[in-house]
Structure 1
Amino acid sequence: MFNPKIVIAMITAGLVAFALFMVLMAYAGDLRGGRDGRAHALSGSAVGFKGLVRLITLGGGDGELARSEESLDTENLVVAAVEPATSHDALEAFIKARANRPTLIILPKWQVVPDATHPGWVKSAGFMPDFVLSRILDEDGRYKVRQTKGTPIARGQGFMPGFQAPAPAMVQVIEGDDLTPLVTAGTGATLLAKIGDSPLYVLAEPDLLNNQAMRDPVRAKAALTLLDELNATDADGVVFDLTLNGFARQPSALKLAFERPFLPLTLALAVAALLAGLHGAFRFGPAARDQRAVAFGKSALVENSAALLRLARREHRTGEAYAELIREAAAHDSGAHLALRDAELDAYLDRLSPADRPKFTALVEDARTAEDRPRLIAAARALFQWKKDLIT
């Protein structure tokens, strides 16, 4: 038998493990890490933006990661890092969901390959082809993205006149008719621009904000300044979109059980199940063992006595004793008065006998006068049946 404490500990551990398994199964997609070397807010590679998110958080700001369209419904600046695999239709749907609120689109610049020696790191494989970037922004070719040499310092224009940041030797610039330059690295080299009249911005040079830039304190400070300039006046944080990068939260029935408004119901059912288990455990207690009808010593005595009777051929002499046992049992079961004895009790039992059946005294006489085993068995069966009919 196991120690009860060990059994309780095993059951508790099993229940906790099952609950954790269900939670992990519900949120497995949301818990995926960003160690894939891509350009998104979860990535710690050179082209990712995890460093910018951490910088905002460590500075006391609110750097939120958006995994659903509901999270994009905010007045705060939303930063979306598109990738080569991002379709123009997906980007259009994202911009439409923002509905003329501050939004920054960051274009990719580098083609990269995984670094086999460092998981999550990447190596440069050259610049991104111009046509890939132009296709993401507009399928009609209204915008052109290219790489060119720029000035060492990127400077702000428009409502960002005081902005400055170190610029890479080869900068990626964007050109188009309805673009308003906000950050440039020389004549015609627009790194950051506003599209149309809405607060929609496109950053062609990701090296101003990615993890590479966070290595330089000056560029890191300039990155925070850039986001502050683009954000709404009453904003309380920056939101980094992950839906365009394939990290959107997928709805599921299992996940609903752990979220509002169904979380209280889940907890109530769990508590009810726990209480039911405790009730059952304390109600029934340990398993009861069947008791032997005859103890080991008495059983051996009875068997030996029966064997002696058989050897002596005196089995039929036990009929009177058996009749006495039936008399006492019938008197008890029928509720006979305790004062009734012998003939009075026999007369009482005779009155209880059915009219079409032999009387009790006649059956007792048959058992007492039985001369062999077959007659004794027949008389005993008749007495037993009489008592059975009396009870029923």
Structure 2
Amino acid sequence: MSGARETGHGFNPLLIAGLVLTGVVAFIALWALVALAPELSSGNDGGGHALSKAAPGYAAIVDLAERAGADVELRRRVDFASSEERGPLLILTPKHDSKPEKIAELLARQNDRVLIILPKWQTLRIPGRTPKPGWVSNGIPIAPSGALLPEPLFGKVGVRAPGAKAQAIAAEVGGRRFSAYLPADAQVVDGDAIEPLIAGANGGAVLARAKKRDVYILADPDLIDNLAFASRDKARAAALLIDAIGEDADADGLAFDLTLNGFGGQRSLLRFAFVPPFIGITLCLIAAGLLALWQAWVRFGPALKPGRAIAVSKAALIANSADLVRQARRELDGAAAYVASQRSAIARRLHAPTGIDAAATDDWIDRRLKAEGDPFSALARRLPLARNKHEFLEGAQALSDIRKELLRDG
């Protein structure tokens, strides 16, 4: 025998309830993280966006602008254009594989004051050679396609990287003069629908503006990205460049878009379920599910253990047999058999003479009884003639008393 304590069910109810509750919470948390991961991500992945601390990122210019007291916003969702006369300078940092229609949508939502910084670096991280998390191991300069710039606004635009050495050139944007540090083989743009603001060393424009709107193009990101903060002079030039563009666009702050880099802005029913105003409906559904689970648990409880159809004992067997006789209404039919069973038990125990009939056996039993009370033979004749249950029970009880008196087994 194992000696294990026997219980009414195979499992601990509290343990099962804990497992179910943990599973429900984990399932909801998983889908919440899947839906909100782009908005909760730190973004330090080595890409070319405002959250990245790697060389092609813009975390340095963001930090510098905030320290200088500028109003800086990191946008994880697409906003409609403001109706106010002034607003922040929206800075778009597309990737090489960004969709032009997505850029066109952002430009359509923003009336003016937009700066598009074209991508330049294709980066990679080599395990064991990356100094810090979020940094990159190597980068390859690749000129992006001119299709990133919507043709209705900029016309036919070409992006190229003519051979030129790194140099500092004098620049003037928005009435402000400063020195711009051009890297080696700086990217430039060419087109008929744009006007150059800062010319490249060998033609083209490093910084240009659309002729129809105040939408600017910075062809080479190394003028303001984290790579530009390798020296104090280049960092100062980057800050002056951003400030001059904001002055020329009459902007009162900076807003770095992150949706083009995959951080927020996704339109999905899963995300809507965990953000206002639909988060209320989600919480109501979760509460309704938990209440339904609780109702089912309280109502039914653990599974019932089925009992045996026939209990294991002589008393149970006798009780079941008596119940069958009672249901069949044949109680009186067993009177003769009961008398015979009592006669046989007394004669066997008291060693009555063998070979005598029932009447002689009854007389033999009568001689061993006391004088008071009805003799066994009279009760044996009267019991089979009982007319109802009361008479039957009275006679049967008298025979049972005689047996107990003679056999001393009461």
Fold similarity call, TM over 0.5: yes
- Give the match for residue 27 of structure 2: 18
Which has the greater radius of gyration?
A: 2
Kindly tell me: are residues 242 and 222 of structure 1, through their superposed partners in 2, closer, same or farther at Cα, counting changes over 3 Å? farther
1:108 equivalent to 2:119? Answer yes
Alignment of 1:231-380 (within 5 A): 231=246, 235-243=252-260, 245=261, 249-283=265-299, 289=305, 299-303=313-317, 319-320=331-332
RMSD: 4.5
Residues 161, 185 of structure 2: 8 Å contact kept = no
User: Alpha-carbon deviations, 1:232-277, whole Å to 9, x = none?
Assistant: 656454132433x566744233333222332212112222332343
Equivalent-residue separation in structure 1 for 2:146 and 2:320 (angstroms): 107
1:63 equivalent to 2:73? Answer yes
Residues 152, 185 of structure 1: 8 Å contact kept = no
Amino acid at match of 2:317: E
> 1:80 offset after TM fit, Å?
1.6
Kindly tell me: are residues 59 and 106 of structure 1, through their superposed partners in 2, closer, same or farther at Cα, counting changes over 3 Å? same
Equivalent-residue separation in structure 2 for 1:221 and 1:55 (angstroms): 10
> 1:87 offset after TM fit, Å?
5.8
- Give the match for residue 80 of structure 1: 92
Match of 2:176 among 161, 182, 185: 161
SS, match of residue 63 in structure 1? strand
| TM-score, normalization by structure 1 | 0.61
Identity of aligned residues (%): 28
Residues 148, 172 of structure 1: 8 Å contact kept = no
Residues 164, 202 of structure 2: 8 Å contact kept = no
Equivalent-residue separation in structure 2 for 1:199 and 1:85 (angstroms): 25
Amino acid at match of 2:119: P
Match of 2:56 among 38, 47, 72: 47
Equivalent-residue separation in structure 2 for 1:322 and 1:30 (angstroms): 88
Alignment of 1:84-233 (within 5 A): 84-86=96-98, 91-99=103-111, 101-110=112-121, 112=122, 114-117=124-127, 118=130, 121=136, 123-126=138-141, 128=143, 133-134=145-146, 136-137=148-149, 141=156, 145-149=160-164, 152-176=167-191, 179-183=194-198, 190-231=205-246
SS, match of residue 79 in structure 1? strand
SS, match of residue 71 in structure 1? coil
Residues 156, 192 of structure 2: 8 Å contact kept = no
> 1:48 offset after TM fit, Å?
3.2
**Residues paired across the two proteins, number:** 312
Amino acid at match of 1:277: L
> 1:213 offset after TM fit, Å?
1.8
> 1:287 offset after TM fit, Å?
5.2
SS, match of residue 171 in structure 1? coil
SS, match of residue 193 in structure 1? strand
| TM-score, normalization by structure 2 | 0.58
Kindly tell me: are residues 267 and 203 of structure 1, through their superposed partners in 2, closer, same or farther at Cα, counting changes over 3 Å? same
Residues 46, 212 of structure 1: 8 Å contact kept = yes
> 1:16 offset after TM fit, Å?
0.8
Kindly tell me: are residues 294 and 63 of structure 1, through their superposed partners in 2, closer, same or farther at Cα, counting changes over 3 Å? same
> 1:88 offset after TM fit, Å?
5.3
Amino acid at match of 1:6: L
> 1:46 offset after TM fit, Å?
2.6
- Give the match for residue 5 of structure 2: none
- What are the ranges of 5 or more consecutive residues in structure 2 without an aligned counterpart? 1-9, 322-327, 336-385, 393-410
Amino acid at match of 1:301: A
Residues 41, 50 of structure 1: 8 Å contact kept = yes
